[in-house]
Amino acid sequence: MIVVIGAGAAGLVASIFARAAGRPVRLLERTSDGGRKILISGGGRCNILPSSLQPERFVTDSPAHLMRGLLRSWPLTEQRRFFEEDVGLPLALEAETGKLFPRSNRARDVREGLVGLATTRGVEIQYDTTVTGLTPGAPWLVETSRGPLDATAVILATGGLSVPQTGSDGTGLRIAKTLGHEMHSLYPALTPLTGGMPGGADLAGISLSVRIRARADGRTRETAGGFLFTHRGYSGPSVLDISDTVTRSSAPAPTSLRVNWTDRTEAQWRDEIAATTGRVASVVARYLPERLAEALCMDAGLPADRRGPELRREERLALLERLTAYALPWTGNEGYKKAEVTGGGVALTDVNPRTLESVRHPGLFMCGEMLDAFGPIGGYNFAWAWATGRLAGLAAGQMAG
């Protein structure tokens, strides 16, 4: 029997493909229903896939070529075909974002479709079952809250530590570490940041498209996209995609975050401000939400009624910096509670890149979020889960056969 531990995105797909070899497959899940991250993803719509895969946007502390190879093991066109033809779930492209959603716009249809396909193909799903131990051997001994199981192959697909209310408690990561696997340090990724507001203003609820440049540990990264002021700090795609530079930044040199609030250059701002005879804040408000425009002027030390001809050189320079390279004041992050994924995990060098079988323990396979790689928001992490789940499932099925 093949035992799959964890009925999330990777585990469900792993069980489906493990069953393809015709061997008995039992899928163990500690919650009462499984797939809870699928249900909450994409605002309840589930962004199943991106329309194009960009491996260079993934983050890993393992050799990048290993991550790229795993991503390419199941091309996006084949993943889409699987969902539309095997799962029976038509997908629709959201053109403005490049994301693929179920045509029904219901995340529940994704989970139920995968559960239904697994069950139809003969996977036995056992809910409300906690794995308490895993002992290598021939067979493997899987200790659970419902008694022991023998397995010819085991697939660990328990996820990481992000969004713990969905059932992610790090069980698989602890097991992998106990079994001697190399682990890269864990950290919350794709998580909102905490911090103050420009000029001390209350800007919660304001959203816009920005570009953020981060410099940390001698490296520079940039993201672009939506930015949202929250009551505690900042969120939105541009913030989430660069948050790992903050959550893993090594002291005593904290990450520097610089924001360009528009697509305008410093020269364009300088020329337009120089040409105005009216209030400087009104010029800025042509391109930015009014409350933010006034807050940035205040942060630069400009009186609210400062007019163009009255602008002093030091005020102009301070304003240009805040418009194009604002030093975003961050104090921390929202942690695993709000993180969409877990950074770090099992080193990719500790699994066979063609099978995802442990290089330390034959018969053990690992996939999904517990491996050391993650991508930006937009369906990339589901693509990783589907691809690695399939690879582990196929290999376990063939090995068990």
For residue 168, what is the domain's CATH number? Answer: 3.50.50.60
- In angstroms, the CA 346 to CA 180 distance is 10
Among residues 293, 313, 333, the one where a domain terminates is 333
Say whether both 39 and 119 belong to one domain.
yes
End-to-end CA distance of the chain: 10
Two tokens at 302? 């400009």
CA dihedral 161, 166, 172, 178 (to 10 degrees): 60
What is the overall mean pLDDT for the chain? 95
Say whether both 22 and 161 belong to one domain.
yes
Say whether both 38 and 182 belong to one domain.
yes
Domain with 387 in it: 2-188+341-400
User: Are 299 and 198 within 8 A, CB to CB?
Assistant: yes
Two tokens at 6? 């964890």
**Per-residue DSSP letter, 357:** B
Collapsing DSSP to helix, strand or coil, 36 comes out as: helix
User: 281-303: per-residue pLDDT in tens?
Assistant: 999 999 999 999 999 999 999 99
- What is the pLDDT, as a whole number, of residue 218? 78
- What is the pLDDT, as a whole number, of residue 400? 64
Read off the pLDDT of each residue in 184-212 and give the average, rounded to a whole number.
93
Q: Residue 399 above 90 pLDDT?
A: no
- In angstroms, the CA 329 to CA 259 distance is 11
Say whether both 93 and 181 belong to one domain.
yes
User: 378-398: per-residue pLDDT in tens?
Assistant: 999 999 999 999 999 999 999
Say whether both 231 and 372 belong to one domain.
no
Among residues 283, 315, 333, the one where a domain terminates is 333
Please state the three-class secondary structure of 360-383 as a single string.
CCCCEEECHHHECCECCCCCHHHH
Q: How many C-alpha atoms does 327 have within 13 Å on its Cβ side?
A: 8
Two tokens at 384? 């990783």
User: Are 13 and 6 within 8 A, CB to CB?
Assistant: no
Two tokens at 392? 């582990």
Two tokens at 149? 């199981």
Q: How many domains does the chain have?
A: 2
Say whether both 31 and 117 belong to one domain.
yes
Cβ neighbours around 72 below 10 Å, total? 12
The pLDDT-based confidence of 96 (bands split at 50, 70, 90) is: confident
Say whether both 231 and 92 belong to one domain.
no
Say whether both 184 and 197 belong to one domain.
no
Among residues 284, 304, 333, the one where a domain terminates is 333
Say whether both 152 and 28 belong to one domain.
yes
Side chain identity, residue 210 = V
The pLDDT-based confidence of 219 (bands split at 50, 70, 90) is: confident
**Per-residue DSSP letter, 307:** B
**What does pTM read for this prediction?**
0.94
- In angstroms, the CA 355 to CA 18 distance is 12
Say whether both 384 and 353 belong to one domain.
yes
Say whether both 328 and 348 belong to one domain.
no
CA 231-234-238 angle, 5° bins: 155
**Per-residue DSSP letter, 79:** H
Say whether both 28 and 91 belong to one domain.
yes
